[in-house]
Chains A and B, each alone.
Chain A
């Protein structure tokens, strides 16, 4: 079970969180034209990297905030967590 540091609540067990996918995907702006290719990329296309991956988790059984987690998909090592408004480098 992973141990995830919520930027609002501190270290909590994975049980309290739910996974939300790739955090680097940006939704096309609302009310703006978008090519079907860009749209399809946003909806469907995800990389499945082995190694570092910046992803979203929601602290559903805690503060209910969505957060960013940088995790190694192979080893589960977590390098960094941040609020969604913060950048992970």
Chain B
């Protein structure tokens, strides 16, 4: 099978390796080194998609990152990826590409009817058309727009690929391996600098691969290869192709996207698909080159219309002709190189040059080769629907606003060149305010805000000689400042063609009574008339015009459209371009995959998993886990077919009746040491700490400076100057930072040290009326009587030969103890407890039972201490000292904290004693009241009281205890429930706290 548009010899592809692929179901082949685009063009296929709004047929326009049209749905290596740029994606065996945004097919697309319903899609159509009636938006307009204006389809399959993140540091990062980038990297490398050279494309060299130049008597391509090989051999240089630097962030951090293996047919298991590099560079060379911009004319979006440099790249790099009857439409000399390349391959082009007849090195060469050149000419409108068939061309009058002569010529492609736009996105992202360079009608970098230097075409230097000189000098000077070494480099001799001046012509006028669409932004279907409408409707700022028309807002970020859009606005507004200004450049420069951003932080690797030393036991005993921060905690231990509700009830009941053990390792633990430790605690906690004896624990409450409760927990005096603080699991990290803040900044005079010991200790709570009996079996040699080890007592003793700490503290409200052993002994302790506890009916209990136990006792926890409550709101004012000062004390006197009607903690039970009250329910007087129904409070915690065998909740409610005895409704629109409730005390079980002291 032959490829009708493939040249016989030209190109850098590997003709020894054929690659088969499909496009819209059709089997085709290309060669190794082809992109999807070059392979399709070689096969004579140009119609690849439909446009965004009007569903007009679209083909390829560029040969790389500038491509606005050819976005395909591509399946390869087991992926299905939308919006893949066909001009960038390399061919791999078995790849299957399909057109997007068309139905039923790209050749016959029903959506193209939009093309005839233009009144439906004027500028700002989103804002205008679908406003009325409002109820239509969700059900009719929005789904319709989504369907009609979509791009590709995201895969719903799990992404099985591996993505990686890499952090790198270097002296000099060079972004782009064209002549100026190569020169910079080479000079810096010779100075001994640590250099990273990044190239977006698979091949290094940039324009050296396509331009007819020589350097030191080598062709551009050979010189690039020589330099790259030398750089690769140097240990201080990292050279990366298929790697695009797409973002420039603060403090010279740049982010690079590396396509590691998308182009490989087979790869090893651990090779990532793509890699994200975070690069901190001391200096950055921006050698990102420039992108050709089009000239605007009628139907300029017809398939077969290319940028002139892209047409040349297809010939030189891929050995592919974009057409055999080309029209070259230009306002400058660079397109002549494309014409000469066609001629070299025995194709006869016609050049339409908007400039008046004149002479230059390239023009003379084209003339001498017999190429048909028509000066003062341009394309008015392209003819052909799915492919260019001919063009109406015109000879321009002197004013360039009218025509001397109009005729139609046959052609199968149009290669257009409207001069060059430096790629300044990275410079702009770095904070560099750009300046308008009259000479080239484009923006170039101005004063730098970070350590960046633009060189070569990215800085507006369009000759090879200047680019090389620029690159060598900057690379050498910037690196010499870092390495203190300066190696002399002779700048090579360059042979290149001299360009004449370009014409500042950018848009073809239309003859009277002709009104074809002239597109400025292909990807978002923004035409000249759309921008005119926006301006007529009063939009002035370029940022507003952009948003109203969506100019430059597509995934190509307006690479080929921004400047023409600006020209248009300037012309209509009678301003000059620099006054109009440019829109903001934002990362990423090109779309990157979500997988790359996520990297390895997915699934179990999303965050570290913290497991207690007893985790394996819990697993073996059917624990169902719940996440508590990064910790995994047993929520309940499932027996048979039990539900969460049944299991937690059983576990809680067993604690109330017998004894249970609970893994409390996850509680935050902080060791506090130093002669001023007592004074420090006295300032940190609301209650008094100066008189706590050694061997005693105390419950403490800490506030933020604004008086809001921050955390609670017990702290034990282990020895004279040594305390052991516990925090809630959730607040452990915050409390440590809080303590460090006061010790380091506010009271550095206090001689105290704090350190987290959370992971040093394994902890188990033993709770229930039989816990003392069980404890005495665990510590046969220890007096554990109420006198010897009273409530809030502390002892150190050996636990079957292992050192341990015994705290008599209780969260469940039952007689309870907490045992701590070194983490390594955690499993030993737990298994021993299970063994010894058997005769007392001991069962392990999880967080759900733990919650039940604390809720019915009226003990507050996270849901009550929610960052909005002060001590008196949660009945903890008994812990607030009136005598001493502490963190947050001054705030407690605020008026709003002391009004009688303030929301305070109460208990709720359903009137029917059956219906569970959903947490988060609002408490209202009248469940049928007109909205907004005044809210009196909210339900913070709910449980099934095992003591009273009915539901019970804690709530934070206006007027607090004054409401006791009254009836309200707890309403949960989320659960669609409304339950009549009665307010009772928050202490539902053992209000005097007798059990903990028994």
A27 close to B746 (CB less than 8 A): yes
Among candidates B253, B740, B744, B893, residue contacting A3 with C-beta atoms closer than 8 Å: B253
Residues of B in contact (CB 8 Å), total 27
Residues of chain B with a CB closer than 8 A to A28's CB: 890
By a CB distance below 8 angstroms, the chain A residues around B884 are 31
Query: Which residues of the other chain, A, contact B748 by a CB distance below 8 angstroms?
Result: 84-85
Contact partners of A64 in chain B: CB under 8 A: 740
Q: Please, which residue of chain B has its CB at the minimum distance from the CB of A31? A: B885
Expressed in whole angstroms, the Cα–Cα distance for A2 and B280 within the complex equals 10
Q: Given A60-B737, A65-B744, are A1 and B885 also a contact pair (CB < 8 Å)?
A: no
- Check A18–B885 contact: CB distance below 8 A: no
Residue of B with least CB distance to A18: B737
**Min CB–CB distance A40 → chain B (angstroms):** 9
Query: Is the Cβ of B280 less than 8 Å from the Cβ of A3?
Result: yes
Contact of B744 among A13, A78, A84 (CB under 8 A): A84
- Quote the shortest CB–CB distance from A38 to chain B (angstroms): 9
Flag whether B202 is at the interface (Cβ < 8 A).
no
User: Which residue of the partner chain, among A1, A32, A43, A56, contacts B705 with CB atoms under 8 Å?
Assistant: A43
- Inter-chain contact total with CB atoms closer than 8 Å: 56
Q: Does the CB pair B885–A58 fall under 8 Å?
A: no
Which B residues are CB-close (under 8 A) to A18? 737
Instruction: State in angstroms the CA–CA spacing of A83 and B890 once bound together.
Output: 29
Interface assignment of A45: CB less than 8 Å from any CB of chain B:
no
Among B251, B741, B746, B747, which residue has its beta carbon within 8 angstroms of that of A76? B251
Q: Is the CB of A62 closer than 8 A to any CB of chain B?
A: no
How many Å lie between the Cα of A30 and that of B44 in the bound state?
Answer: 83
| B-chain residues with CB within 8 Å of residue A30 when the two chains form the complex | 683, 747, 885
Which B positions have Cβ atoms within 8 angstroms of A? 167, 249-253, 278, 280, 431, 449, 683, 705-706, 733, 737, 740-741, 744-748, 884-885, 890-891, 893
Chain A, residues 11-48, CB within 8 Å of chain B (1/0): the string is 00100001010000001101110101001001110000
Complex Cα distance, B746 from A75, in Å, reads 29
Other A-B pairs beyond A1-B249, A1-B250, A28-B890, 5, CB < 8 Å: A13-B167, A43-B891, A66-B741, A66-B745, A76-B250
Cβ contacts A to B, 25 pairs, < 8 Å: A1-B249, A1-B250, A2-B251, A3-B250, A3-B251, A13-B167, A13-B280, A28-B890, A30-B747, A30-B885, A31-B885, A34-B890, A36-B890, A39-B891, A42-B705, A58-B737, A58-B741, A60-B733, A60-B737, A66-B740, A66-B745, A76-B251, A78-B251, A84-B744, A85-B748
Q: Choose among B278, B740, B885, B890 the residue with the greatest number of A CB atoms under 10 Å from its CB.
A: B890
Closest to A1 in B: B253
Is B280 a contact of A36 with CB atoms below 8 Å?
no
Chain A residues lying within 8 Å of B449, measured Cβ to Cβ, are 75
Beta-carbon nearest neighbor of B755 in chain A: A64
- Contact yes or no, A1 B741, CB < 8 A: no
Give the residue of B167, B250, B741 whose beta carbon is less than 8 angstroms from that of A2.
B250
Q: Which residues of chain A come closer than 8 Å to B891, judged between CB atoms?
A: 39, 43
Contacts of A39 in B (CB 8 A): 890-891
CA distance A31 to B253 in the complex (A): 47
List residues of A whose CB falls within 8 A of some B CB: 1-3, 13, 18, 20, 27-28, 30-32, 34, 36, 39, 42-44, 56, 58, 60, 64-66, 75-76, 78, 84-85
Tell me, rounded to whole Å, the shortest Cβ–Cβ distance linking B731 to chain A. 15
**Max chain A Cβ within 10 angstroms of own Cβ: one of B249, B706, B744:** B744
Is B253's CB under 8 angstroms from A20's CB? Answer: no
Q: A76 CA to B248 CA in the complex, in Å?
A: 14
Give the CA-CA distance A17 to B251 in the complex, in Å: 15
Nearest A residue (CB) for B756: A64
Chain B residue numbers with a CB within 8 Å of A66 are 740-741, 744-745
Q: Within 8 Å CB of B737, what residues of A?
A: 18, 58, 60
Of B252, B253, B745, B893, most buried by chain A (CB within 10 Å of CB) is B745
A41, chain B: closest CB distance, angstroms: 12
Question: Which residues of the other chain, B, contact A56 by a CB distance below 8 angstroms?
Answer: 745
Residue from the set B167, B251, B449, B746 with the largest chain A CB neighbour count within 10 Å? B251
**Which of chain A's residues have a CB closer than 8 A to the CB of B747?**
30
Contact A20 B683 (CB under 8 A): no
Q: Which 9 A-B pairs have the closest CB atoms?
A: A3-B251, A76-B250, A39-B890, A31-B885, A66-B744, A30-B885, A84-B745, A27-B746, A1-B253
Please tell me which one of the listed residues B278, B683, B740, B745 contacts residue A1 in the complex, with CB atoms under 8 A apart.
B278
Pairwise interchain contact A20-B251, C-beta atoms closer than 8 A: no
Q: How far is the CA of A66 from the CA of B744 in the complex (A)?
A: 7
B926 to chain A, nearest CB (A): 37
A3 to B: closest C-beta gap in Å: 4
Give A33 Cβ to nearest chain B Cβ, in Å. Answer: 10
Write the chain B residue with the least CB distance to A38.
Answer: B890
Our pick among A1, A31, A85 for the contact of B251 (Cβ within 8 Å) is: A1
| Bound form: Cα–Cα A43–B705 in Å | 7
Q: In the complex, A39→B741 CA distance in Å?
A: 19
Bound-state CA distance A39–B249 (Å) is: 39
> Is there an interface contact between A58 and B250, defined as CB atoms closer than 8 Å?
no
Closest to A27 in B: B746
Q: How far is the CA of A43 from the CA of B890 in the complex (A)?
A: 10
Q: CB-nearest residue of chain B relative to A3?
A: B251
- A residues near B431, Cβ cutoff 8 Å: 75
The answer for the CA separation of A34 and B705 in the assembled complex, in Å, is 14
Enumerate chain B residues within 8 angstroms of A85, measured Cβ to Cβ. 748
CB distance from A17 to the nearest CB of B (A): 11
CB proximity of B892 to chain A, nearest CB, Å: 11
Min Cβ gap A60→B in Å is: 7
Say whether A20 contacts B885, CB under 8 Å.
Answer: no
Least Cβ distance of A21 to chain B in Å?
Answer: 10
| A34 proximity list for chain B (CB < 8 A) | 890
Which chain A residue lies CB-closest to B744? Answer: A66
Shortest CB-to-CB span from B608 to chain A, Å, is 12
A50 CA to B396 CA in the complex, in Å? 54
Residues of the B chain whose Cβ atoms lie less than 8 Å from the Cβ of A44:
706
The residues of B that contact A20 with a CB separation of less than 8 Å are 741
Q: What is the chain B residue whose CB lies nearest that of A34? A: B890
Kindly state the separation between the CA atoms of A65 and B706 in the bound complex, as whole angstroms: 24
Residue in chain A with minimal CB distance to B255: A1
Residues of B with C-beta under 8 A to A75? 431, 449
A69: min CB distance to chain B, Å: 12
**Shortest distance in angstroms between B751's beta carbon and chain A's nearest beta carbon?**
15
How far does the Cβ of B748 sit from chain A's closest Cβ, in whole Å?
7
CB-CB under 8 A from B167, the residues of chain A are 13
Alpha-carbon separation in the docked complex, A39 to B889 (Å): 10
The residue in chain B whose Cβ has the minimal distance to the Cβ of A66 is B744
